[in-house]
Structure 1
Amino acid sequence: MGQSNEKFYCECRSKKDKNKNGGQTKKLLMKSSEYLYNPRVCKGLAVSTREREEMELRGILPPAVRCRNLQVKAVIQNLDRFEENLSKYIYLRNLQDFDEELFYKVMMEHTEKLMPIVYTPTVGLACIKYSTIFHRPRGIFLTVHDGGRIHHILGNWPERNVKAIVVTDGERILGLGDLGANGMGIPVGKLALYTALAGIPPELTLPVTIDFGTNNQKLIEDPFYIGLRQKRVKGPEYNDLMDEFMEAVVQRYGRSCLIQFEDFGNHNAFRLLEKYKPNYCTFNDDIQGTASVAVAGILASLKITGLKLAQNIFLFQGAGEAALGTANLLVMAMEQDGVQSEEAMKKIWLIDSKGLIVKNRPTGGITEHKARFAKDYQNLTSLEEIVKSIKPTVLIGASAQRGVFTENVLQTMANNHKQPVIFALSNPTDKAECTASDAYIHTEGRCVFASGSPFEPVTINEKTHYPGQGNNAYIFPGVAFAIMACGVHYVSDEVFLVSAKALADQVRKEHLAEGRVYPPLKKIHDVSFNIAIKLTQYFYAEDFATRRPEPHDKIAFLRSKQYNYARPLSIKLGRHPY
């Protein structure tokens, strides 16, 4: 078998020879110790007796052989023993570091149970505690001191065929603010959902955190903090490093490598998107992904309220990335319905920290992106007064201000309209503008409600309402999958309106009857795949796809690109047909 007891061989045909009779085989050499500690190939007790002999693992593993299904049951039983979700998060992260396929099998089969742990709301707490719970590196940590070496450092990542990167600078993690290098929990969590929800092979993905320092003094003083202990760098030094990073990604991984931006501060998020969108395969999930899922919920709500999109008045509590992204996508949606841009913008009102965004506001603070929606109106600062004055049909929270949708605000919405639409989209749960219970109780069960993080069903007058979760996870995995599969180089804004409509179309009558404006979470795998189908059709129709020839059977095409558990070792080790 080899020159030492530590080694075993695995035979596989090269891609060049796999379809030729008598083609030469290649041998992949791996130490048994490397097998046991390589999460991409290790499968623990699922290794068969024969494989144990071939790999010389006899005696290293205990004699029992467990099938994958039994391993899944063991994982769930262990998870249920933990009382705290953070402990469950740590357990799942350790599982991912030991047996990647088992981790994703568990995630795919128990998505509804595990998404609140791997993603919102628990990922927020995990980011706060990231330095303390840090165990094994996952992803690339770049710093402001790495200028001139980014291309080289990316080369330290063991995978060479990276097709998607999720990157953050940690300045605005969810509604938690500046968490610096601790923000790595977001790219790690997002990319886990790439695979668990859309079937993107994990070896094609790379989490990245760019550490420019932090203005969070508690982190700087924390002895366990894993990031740079300095104030954030701004200006030319920041810009130059971002430029170098983007260029290095293309040089290292190619023009079609997707770069998804996450949780950058508002002042950087918009300008970086505008700067890089024309020349890179990139999108900002906080701006465009949030907008897509919010607009999808609004489109679905029309099936309940009976109104047309342009018959609504939209009021946003918040005027940051999520609110402005949603507002702009709503304008695009109304334009496609035949409404003039100026008329569409009249339907949209925004509130920031200084009050209603109106022209000539004495307190100022109206940036270029906000000014587009500024109105000739009186200067109001109280949300309750604003709701009474402009009578919105749709109230959207994207402010991370807990409880700002007060009893009076909710009752006013109910007094103004028979079925008010109320979206409390801020994450994590303790940053939500109101709870599902508050929304339903104070509107007498008449509102159409959705939130960013999950809430339990609410029963009022013997009717049970199931609050929809307006989570970006409904959008970004399917979007990323289609972009990667089609070899897209440019991600247009229309991608997110196509996705929003595709998501809204999957809300069935039975879902609407329960008060949902999103499909149940247990359907999210199908949702992601169906969004990918619609986008694949769009990319080829609009000539954005570079993979040729155009596949006749796009469903089969996408299926051939998905992750599965029975992959040959050659694929597990990075030789994937993307």
Structure 2
Amino acid sequence: IVVTDGERILGLGDLGANGMGIPIGKLTLYTACAGIPPMQCLPITIDVGTDNTHLRESASYMGLRQPRLRGAAYDALMDEFIEAVQERFPQVCLQFEDFGNHNAFTLLDKWRDRVCTFNDDIQGTASVTLAGLYSASRITGTPLKDMRLLFLGAGEAGIGIGDLVVEAMTEEGLSQAEARSRCWFMDSKGLVVKSRTDLASHKQPYAHDHDPVPTFLDAVESVKPHAIIGVSGMPGTFTAPVLAAMARHNERPIVMALSNPTSKAECTAREAYASTDGRAVFASGSPFAPVTHKGKTHVPGQGNNAYIFPGVGLGVMVADSSRVTDEMFAAAARTLAGTVNEDDLAMGRIYPSLSRIREVSKAIAVEVARLAYERGLARAPRPDDLEAAVAAAMYEPVYPQYA
């Protein structure tokens, strides 16, 4: 099941009941990218109203014409929904999608250790970004644990990436405090620092002892990051001066403009290469065409969650895992990065071609299922050949009479 309440539809905001296309689309990707049988997919939108007055006043709007339900009543409704889902479909994997920041973190924190669930905006985005950083390190020569990261945006996606990066850095030998010290965040009010009194709870672990910094360019000059990661939904915020500053501080600056859709990207691929004299290691959330700069053609990578969540879901399904863990998303990131070959890197691409997506999903599913068995989370008997079991579980839309 993919469920949304339509509050924070990527790049579009509060769509209320009109957000139904999101769970339908995500489940389509489960089938197309990982072979999840479509008859096992159920899209759900919880209609709790909308704060989008234009929609509420539209004659064609089919949702509840009321402001969004908030507080205890909303929490009680979601509790009832999740409990009912567990009763009706006890083996379900429940994916939260496009909830507002507060509800997204609250729901994940409450249910992640109780049912088989995850939030794609928090954990899926984190995994695909971590994979990109692993691949980029092969180009730059800087190990992940030695990188300083500066995020533009400190919501679901940004903090989710930070949390998974911290886990990965600790696996490489850093303490949690050391790892967090390498992750810096910029929100709409400036750099996230300890002296600020307006920080939401999910930002506080990343508040550093540092003077306030009002602009992103000033933050780049102060932090001198190896990578800038845009998850702000604010187009054009990776300006030419920002990109030039990154190029001054790094031989191969990592620039990840991950906001979707294309119109929301923090910069374009052409801008990234032009402002860094072709030295940027660039990836984006939306696709960009190849760019030729000074005779060399660069192929931008697309950090799309579709590389991650279909394979994770397939692995969870094959093992009948009772939980979806951050360790699984870290494993998915390593697996995805491992599918990037030298030809990809030579073109500047830090993700494999999307034409290989089913191969990638299968590899991720095998690792996720293996973890489920090793951690005692699997409820299905362990097959003799896990890779063959994953392959056999992948739906192929081929009908015998036309085969």
SS of residue paired to 2:150: strand
Once the two structures are superposed, what CA deviation does each residue of 1:511-556 show, in whole Å capped at 9, x if it has no partner?
00000000011111111111111112221122211101x1111122
Cα distance between partner residues in 2 of 1:320 and 1:425: 13
User: What displacement does 1:568 show?
Assistant: 8.1
Matched, 1:237 2:73: yes
Q: What letter is aligned with 1:356? A: L
How does 1:396-411 map onto structure 2 within 5 Å? Answer: 396-411=229-244
Question: How do 1:55-204 and structure 2 match up within 5 A?
Answer: 165-204=1-40
What is the CA deviation profile of residues 548-577 of structure 1, one whole-angstrom value per residue up to 9, with x for unaligned ones? 1x11111221122121234689xxxxxxxx
Task: Please state whether the residue corresponding to 2:206 is helix, strand or coil.
Answer: coil
Aligned residue type for 2:115: Y
TM-score normalised by L of structure 1: 0.69
Who is 1:482 aligned against? 315
| Other-structure match for 2:42 | 206
Counterpart of 2:94 in structure 1: which amino acid? Answer: I
Letter aligned with residue 270 of structure 1: F
Deviation beyond 2 Å, 4+ runs, structure 1: 564-569
Task: Give the aligned residue type for 2:169.
Answer: M
Does residue 437 (structure 1) correspond to residue 273 (structure 2)? The answer is no
Give the Cα–Cα distance (whole angstroms) in 1 for the partners of residues 314 and 366 of structure 2: 10
Cα deviations by residue, 1:7-61 (Å, 9 ceiling, x for unpaired): xxxxxxxxxxxxxxxxxxxxxxxxxxxxxxxxxxxxxxxxxxxxxxxxxxxxxxx
Are the counterparts in 2 of residues 310 and 344 from structure 1 also a CA contact under 8 Å? Answer: yes
Are the equivalent residues in 1 in contact too, given 2:27–2:43 (CA < 8 A)?
Answer: yes
**Distance in 2 separating the partners of 1:321 and 1:439:** 25
What CA distance in whole angstroms lies between the structure 2 residues aligned with 1:333 and 1:207?
32
Q: Are 1:514 and 2:347 matched, yes or no? A: yes
Shift, 1:465, TM fit = 0.4
For residue 78 of structure 2, give the secondary structure of its aligned residue in structure 1.
Answer: helix
Provide the rounded CA distance (Å) in 1 between the counterparts of 2:399 and 2:97.
31
For 2:286, what is the secondary structure of its paired residue?
coil
Question: Equivalents in 2 of 1:284, 1:190: separation in Å?
Answer: 12
- Please list, as runs of the form range in 1=range in 2, the aligned pairs for 1:27-426 lying within 5 A after superposition: 165-254=1-90, 256-361=91-196, 364-426=197-259
Alignment of 1:502 onto 2:335? yes
Whether the aligned pair in 2 keeps the contact of 1:354 and 1:365 (CA below 8 Å) is no
> Which string of whole-angstrom CA distances, capped at 9 and with x for unpartnered residues, describes residues 381-405 of structure 1?
1111111111111000000001000
Residues 168-204 of structure 1: CA deviation (Å, up to 9, x unaligned): 0000001221111111111000000110010010000
Counterpart selection for 1:551 from 383, 394, 397:
383
Give secondary structure in 1 for the equivalent of 2:42.
strand
How many residues get paired? 401
Q: 2:370 aligns with which of 534, 537, 544?
A: 537
8 Å CA contact 2:362–2:391 kept in 1: the answer is no
Identify unmatched segments of 5+ residues in structure 1: 1-164, 570-578
Match of 1:565 in 2: 397
Q: Deviations over 1:236-282 (max 9, x none)?
A: 1101110111011111111x200000000001100100101111110
Q: Secondary structure at the match of 2:350?
A: coil
**Equivalent AA in structure 2 for residue 258 of structure 1:** C
Rounded to whole Å, the distance in 2 between the matches of 1:492 and 1:246 is 18
AA of the residue aligned to 2:231: A
Q: What SS does the corresponding residue of 1:271 show, helix, strand or coil? A: helix
8 Å contact from structure 1 (residues 424, 432) kept in 2: yes
DSSP 3-state at the match of 2:46: strand
Structure 1 counterpart of 2:189, one-letter code: K
Residues 290-322 of structure 1 deviation map (CA, whole Å, 9 limit, x = unaligned): 000000000110000001112111000000000
Tell me the SS of whatever aligns to 1:225.
coil
217 and 203 in structure 1: CA distance in 2 versus 1, 3 angstrom threshold: same
Cα shift at 1:375: 0.7
| Whole-angstrom distance in 1 between the partners of 2:268 and 2:186 | 20
Q: Distance in 2 between matches of 1:226 and 1:464?
A: 48
> Percent identity among equivalent residues?
52
- Structure 1 residue 365: deviation in Å? 2.1
**Which consecutive residues of structure 2, in runs of 5 or more, have no partner in the other structure?**
none
SS in 1 for 2:334: helix
State the AA in 2 paired with 1:185.
Answer: G
- SS of aligned partner of 2:272: helix
Measure, in 2, the Cα distance between the counterparts of 1:185 and 1:552.
39
Alpha-carbon distance in structure 2 between the residues aligned to 1:567 and 1:531: 27
Preserved contact between residue 439 and residue 447 of structure 1 (Cα < 8 Å)? yes
Q: Is the 8 A contact 1:450 1:469 kept in 2?
A: yes
Tell me the distance in 2 between the aligned counterparts of 1:223 and 1:553: 56
Considering only aligned residues, what root-mean-square deviation do their CA atoms show, in Å? 1.1
Counterpart contact for 1:258–1:480, Cα < 8 Å: yes
Give, in whole Å, the separation in 1 of the partners of 2:269 and 2:396.
37
| Bigger Cα Rg | 1
- CA deviation vs aligned residue, 1:103-124 (integer Å, no higher than 9, x gap): xxxxxxxxxxxxxxxxxxxxxx
From the superposition, tell whether residues 532 and 231 of structure 1 become closer, same or farther in structure 2 (CA, over 3 Å).
same
Distance 2:397 2:108 in 1: 36
Aligned position for 1:49: none
Distance in 2 (CA, whole Å) between partners of 1:486 and 1:547 is: 5
TM-score scaled by structure 2?
Answer: 0.98
Cα shift at 1:352 = 0.8
Question: What is residue 285 of structure 2 aligned with on the other side?
Answer: 452
Whose RCO is larger (CA < 8 A, sep 6+)?
2
Tell me the alpha carbon deviations over residues 82-106 of structure 1, each in whole angstroms, 9 at most, x when there is no partner.
xxxxxxxxxxxxxxxxxxxxxxxxx
Q: Partners of 1:237 and 1:341 in 2: how far apart?
A: 36
Q: CA deviation at 1:493?
A: 1.1
Aligned partner letter, 1:463:
K
